[in-house]
């Protein structure tokens, strides 16, 4: 799976082989000892991950349910009449699909995928940068893209990347992509990073946004026992980053792994028949059970709020 996709999450591995994440984590550790892969918080990648970037087909299948939940929550941060910038990535593409019916919205992007997701939204104005097309992620990069962003001012920037750590911030494996993302950040009052748990604690070659430049992180709920992502979230919160945790809940049922291009229709999660009262929907906080506390990421989200 790592050879096919470039990266894989422990949750996905556990689901495929029908065992616990604890067992999967032990096996991944053994494979790393043999030099077959590199471990990352919440997953594994091919060796040499600092400079290697999976292509778009591989990224679409990695943590797809988590990306959908993150996009649902992030869309709630966009208000009517906002002017925003949206960077390239499969998570930002999911976000764009949910923004099609925000009245008076203006979206500036260097991503062909983001623009395509909004192409039929008649109440959303899409502004594309110039630049040179980078085929691996369908993004416009280079001096043309950066120059077209000079002098721009918007309310929010939504970015993704290859990795996120409290020590270094957001990073990516490609120098040209990192340079354009930095130009997007310079145009925004607030910087919102969309990163699923497989990217937390991972690092890559080129820094995009230093930790102190990140306003908010939107990530997914991942509460495996002794999960190091919870510690990374604590460290990011200590650095002043606001944390928003998207509960997965019904995300697996409410969002398909891949959607064909076309008009984006915002989805409102609908409980299926028989859903127990009080079960949280994506974006809602999970109530604490009797005799126990909230999961680590949920406790952190509660503290930040």
Q: What one-character-per-residue DSSP string does 100-133 give?
A: TT-TTEEEEESBHHHHHHTTT-TTEEEEE--SEE
Q: Using one digit for the tens of pLDDT, what is the confidence trace for 238-294?
A: 999 999 999 886 454 444 433 334 444 444 444 444 545 555 545 444 444 444 444
Instruction: Give me the pLDDT at residue 94, please.
Output: 95
CA dist., res. 45 & res. 201, Å (int): 13
Q: Please provide residue 29's backbone torsions phi and psi, each rounded to the nearest 5 degrees.
A: -60, -40
CA dist., res. 154 & res. 170, Å (int): 20
Tokens at residue 294, please?
């909230």
Q: Are 207 and 170 in contact (CB under 8 A)?
A: yes
Instruction: Give me the pLDDT at residue 15, please.
Output: 85
Instruction: Give me the pLDDT at residue 58, please.
Output: 52
Cα–Cα distances in Å, from 302 out to 208, 222, 288, 296? 28, 15, 11, 10
Query: What is the mean pLDDT, run by run of 10 residues, along the chain of 305 residues?
Result: 73 86 88 79 68 53 83 96 96 95 95 95 94 91 94 96 93 91 96 92 89 96 65 93 85 41 42 50 47 47 48
Instruction: Give me the pLDDT at residue 247, please.
Output: 86
Tokens at residue 7, please?
């990266």
Instruction: Give me the pLDDT at residue 204, please.
Output: 84
Buried b (16+ CB within 10 A) or exposed e, 57-73: ebbbbbbbbbbbbbbbb
Q: Which of 252, 241, 210 is nearest to 304 (CA)?
A: 241
Q: Are 46 and 38 in contact (CB under 8 A)?
A: yes
């Amino acid at each position: 799976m790592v050879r096919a996709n470039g990266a894989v999450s422990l949750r996905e591995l556990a689901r495929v082989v029908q065992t616990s994440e604890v067992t999967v984590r032990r096996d991944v550790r053994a494979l790393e000892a043999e030099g077959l892969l590199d471990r990352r918080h919440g997953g594994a990648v091919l060796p040499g991950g600092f400079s290697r970037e999976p292509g778009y087909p591989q990224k679409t299948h990695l943590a797809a349910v988590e990306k959908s939940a993150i996009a649902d929550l992030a869309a709630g941060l966009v208000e009517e009449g906002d002017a925003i910038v949206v960077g390239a990535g499969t998570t930002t593409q999911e976000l764009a699909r949910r923004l099609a019916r925000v009245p008076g919205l203006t979206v500036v992007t260097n991503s062909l995928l983001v623009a395509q997701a909004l192409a039929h939204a008649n109440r959303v104005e899409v502004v594309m940068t110039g630049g040179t097309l980078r085929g691996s992620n369908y993004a416009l990069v280079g001096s043309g893209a950066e120059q077209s962003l000079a002098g721009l001012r918007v309310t929010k920037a939504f970015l993704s990347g290859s990795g996120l750590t409290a020590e270094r911030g957001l990073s990516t494996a490609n120098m040209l992509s990192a340079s354009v993302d930095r130009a997007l950040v310079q145009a925004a009052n607030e910087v919102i990073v969309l990163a699923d748990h497989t990217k937390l604690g991972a690092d890559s070659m080129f820094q995009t946004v230093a930790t102190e430049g990140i306003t908010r992180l939107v990530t997914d709920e991942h509460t495996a026992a002794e999960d190091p992502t919870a510690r990374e979230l604590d460290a990011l919160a200590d650095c002043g980053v606001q944390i928003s945790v998207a509960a997965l809940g019904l995300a697996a049922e409410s969002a398909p792994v891949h959607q064909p291009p076309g008009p984006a229709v915002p989805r409102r999660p609908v409980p299926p028949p028989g859903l127990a009262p009080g079960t949280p929907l994506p974006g809602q906080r999970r109530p604490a059970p009797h005799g126990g506390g909230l999961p680590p990421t949920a406790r952190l989200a509660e503290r930040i709020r």
